[in-house]
Structure 1
Amino acid sequence: MMKGTYITDITQIPYFQSMPESEQETLLKVTERFPFRASEHYLSLIDWNNPNDPIKRIIFPDPGELNASGSPDPSEEKNYTVQHGLQHKYPQTALLLLSDVCGGICRFCFRKRLFMDCERQTVRDYAPALGYVRDHPEVTDVLLSGGDPFILATSRLRQVIREIREIDHVGIIRIGTKMLAYNPYRITEDPDLIELIREASGGEKKIYIMAHFNHPNEISSESVRAIGMLQQAGAIIVNQTPVIEGVNNNPAVMADLFKKLSFMGVSPYYVFQCRPTIGNYIYSVPVEESFWTLQKAFQRCSGLAKRARFIMSHSTGKIEVVGMNNHNIFMRYHQAADPEDYEKFMISCSNPQARWFDDYEPFTPGTGPIREWLFECDPAAYSGTATY
């Protein structure tokens, strides 16, 4: 097995070759629409004899992806694109799409439009984007994303990071990556990358690695080694994951993930509601099921392992689900595209079928600055949305 080998043709996988021809034809239709890509390392983690293997669920196509529901851009990232490849949705943070290639393609990817037949949205010439950041002193964080920035050559990453470090008002550079799971050899076998992280993580400014472990089985021994090398180089590593049906929508699994990460000094950061991207319905679970999965997982964890927030990355901002009772769900803005939304607190009737913020009852704005979106539902008398 070649450590750095990637497979983009599903017909090369022995498991696919063993499937009935009719099932093969269906999966080929899936990959015509939503491409397949995986590393040899990641495929080696799959127990192909287990029909419910979570790693297989993450990377291997499913006929249900042909469900036509969903949006190519559910968070409306296009509305916040200020330069080619640069998004500026929240005042403090700019997001730079450096690559449209990953070490693998998650079947539930919310940015899968980058891998489909569409106009390129990532940057090759990032000078205009960095010029924008220089001109906006409110930007203190630059998130390098894609695709996966670690798919790029270290020399190119060095060039980008060096130029960002020269912008005085940028204190944090974040690198969003799933390479620690998909191909940790990218880190462990590239001393130049480790040196780059060390150079950029000294003094008062740090590199943050936004890891993407969805299930404990993704944390291989080589992943542990890669994490340690990055930490020793000065990087701060946090983890984010969506709640995925058949992968981690189980409190015991989620708790195990949180504990393993926290034991290694990797802080659970965000747990996301799976976005309603085209082809993603079969991977999503209802919002309220996601919330309770997280709460029950927290009961099994120490404080350091349960620092994650449950978030919906809505077009209007990061909406945090903060609580529920028998009849209501409570939400607030953790981040907001419109600064006035920070003061809004939302209460809606419970909807066990809701899979996204927009599935809840429409909110009718009131008058007060903080209580503008404050609503409550009396299940005995409710006949619409009450405004306070």
Structure 2
Amino acid sequence: MRYIKNLAAIPALRAAGDLATLERVGAHYAFRSSEYYLGLIDWSDPADPIRQLIVPRAEELDAWGDLDACNEAAVTISHGVQHKYADTVLLLCNEVCGGYCRYCFRKRLFMDDNEEVNKAVWDGLDYIAGHPEVTNVLLTGGDPLLMSTRRLAEIIGRLREIPHVQVIRIGSKMPAFDPWRILDDPELLAMFERHSTAEKRIYVMAHFDHPRELTEPAVRALDQLIRHGVVLTNQCPLIAGINDDPVVLGELYRKLSWLGCPPYYLFQGRPTAGNAPYRVPIVRGWQTFQEAIHRGSGLARRARYVMSHESGKIEILAVDETRIYLRYHRAKDPALRGRFMIYHRNDAAYWLDDLDPVDAAFDVRFGHDSLYETAAGPE
């Protein structure tokens, strides 16, 4: 597959007359796409959702947000290893993606001076082996499926030698960006079949944002993963101009469920630097999500609408005329696990830090005493 990193190589952008502006954005926040993915764009439509997803916009240079909006640095225990929740470790094993989503929450990884990713993951694997509480490992980055099959097989093979690692997850948008990475590599499929066993499955956390990404080759790639033992789920953020329409999101969820790749999480977009044009307020996001899941199958209704806050994964449960109801689905501090929180409704609020608690006891900044708390059972 041919990948394009030079905006000037795209005829439609040269013809539009704003190439110089887009190149300034691309110099700050990298641009990359497969030729196949650019071919999905209707260039006659400036608001085309695939275009919004992959082509730079001038508004990305607006002053807003932080490059590490969730303070991942605080849970980085060694180069390329994040350990935020007791049973889960993230290995940042690749610093390249098949395309750079404009709303990416880790766009800092693709900047020239960033060295967070550790392609030599062996220290991370030793760390996992030495922590028996870790049952779940997520390979991420960057996109692990852009690594060579030999390299990926080495990592997964080593993880399979660690008895307490039960689940291996791979976060990837390659089924959308370049389905032939899967379709044209029988060794990759054989590796999945070998290591995704009846008792210890490999999960691919796919990343489809819009129904138009579910092309015939993408569907075939998903089918091949399933046929070779992989369990599929989909997770994506809610993004203005791409999937913040309940009809669009509902169609995406419905089709994914039919394909055997049901939705897992819908993420509130992180307040990451450069992402101002893609933000959707919490209240409108919840309303969009609620309507979307009721357009889908029962499988689609298992999805959760969450924000990955510095303090944990917070589920947005409900909104009424005056309040917003939240719960810690996962928490960095185990004492907060299951904590139920009530905030004053604010239709302009985008992130937890923008909300005012109904009572100080509901705000984690005021300690752990809460009037409302659920049992801290298994997450």
1:157 aligned onto 2:152: yes
2:265 paired residue number: 270
Deviation at 1:370, TM superposition (A): 6.9
1:115 paired residue number: 110
> 1:274-319: per-residue Cα shift (whole Å, max 9, x none)?
1100000110110111110000112212211221100100000001
**What is the one-letter code of the residue matched to 1:238?**
T
1:219 paired residue number: 214
> 1:183-215: per-residue Cα shift (whole Å, max 9, x none)?
011000000000011011122000000000000
The normalised TM-score by structure 2 is 0.95
For the residues of structure 2 that align with 1:116 and 1:49, how far apart are their CA atoms?
31
For the residues of structure 2 that align with 1:335 and 1:127, how far apart are their CA atoms?
27
Alignment of 1:162-201 (within 5 A): 162-201=157-196
1:364 aligned onto 2:360: yes
Task: Give the match's secondary structure for 1:69.
Answer: coil
Determine which of 301, 304, 307 is the counterpart of 2:302.
307
**What is the one-letter code of the residue matched to 1:77?**
E
2:284 paired residue number: 289
1:88 paired residue number: 83
Alignment of 1:59-138 (within 5 A): 59-138=54-133
**What is the one-letter code of the residue matched to 2:200?**
K
Cα contact 1:344–1:372 (8 A) shared by 2: no
For the residues of structure 2 that align with 1:6 and 1:266, how far apart are their CA atoms?
26
> 1:310-356: per-residue Cα shift (whole Å, max 9, x none)?
01000000010001111000000011000001142110100000011
1:6 paired residue number: 3
For the residues of structure 2 that align with 1:104 and 1:178, how far apart are their CA atoms?
8
**What is the one-letter code of the residue matched to 2:167?**
I
For the residues of structure 2 that align with 1:338 and 1:218, how far apart are their CA atoms?
37
**What is the one-letter code of the residue matched to 1:162?**
G
Q: 1:61 to 1:127 in 2, by over 3 A?
A: same
> 1:153-181: per-residue Cα shift (whole Å, max 9, x none)?
00000000000000000000000000000
Percentage identity across paired residues of the two chains: 46
Deviation at 1:368, TM superposition (A): 10
Determine which of 16, 20, 24 is the counterpart of 1:19.
16
For the residues of structure 2 that align with 1:288 and 1:117, how far apart are their CA atoms?
36
Deviation at 1:252, TM superposition (A): 0.4
For the residues of structure 1 that align with 2:338 and 2:49, how far apart are their CA atoms?
39
For the residues of structure 1 that align with 2:248 and 2:43, how far apart are their CA atoms?
20
Deviation at 1:135, TM superposition (A): 1.0
Task: Give the match's secondary structure for 1:365.
Answer: helix
Deviation at 1:372, TM superposition (A): 4.9
For the residues of structure 2 that align with 1:306 and 1:54, how far apart are their CA atoms?
24
Cα contact 1:364–1:373 (8 A) shared by 2: no
Cα contact 2:253–2:296 (8 A) shared by 1: yes
Cα contact 2:361–2:369 (8 A) shared by 1: no
1:385 paired residue number: none
**What is the one-letter code of the residue matched to 1:91?**
A
Deviation at 1:139, TM superposition (A): 0.5
1:331 aligned onto 2:315: no
1:350 paired residue number: 345
The normalised TM-score by structure 1 is 0.93
> What stretches of structure 2 of length at least 5 have no aligned partner?
374-379
For the residues of structure 2 that align with 1:185 and 1:58, how far apart are their CA atoms?
20
Number of residue equivalences: 369
Cα contact 1:345–1:370 (8 A) shared by 2: no
For the residues of structure 2 that align with 1:109 and 1:291, how far apart are their CA atoms?
21
Cα contact 1:239–1:267 (8 A) shared by 2: yes
Deviation at 1:124, TM superposition (A): 2.2
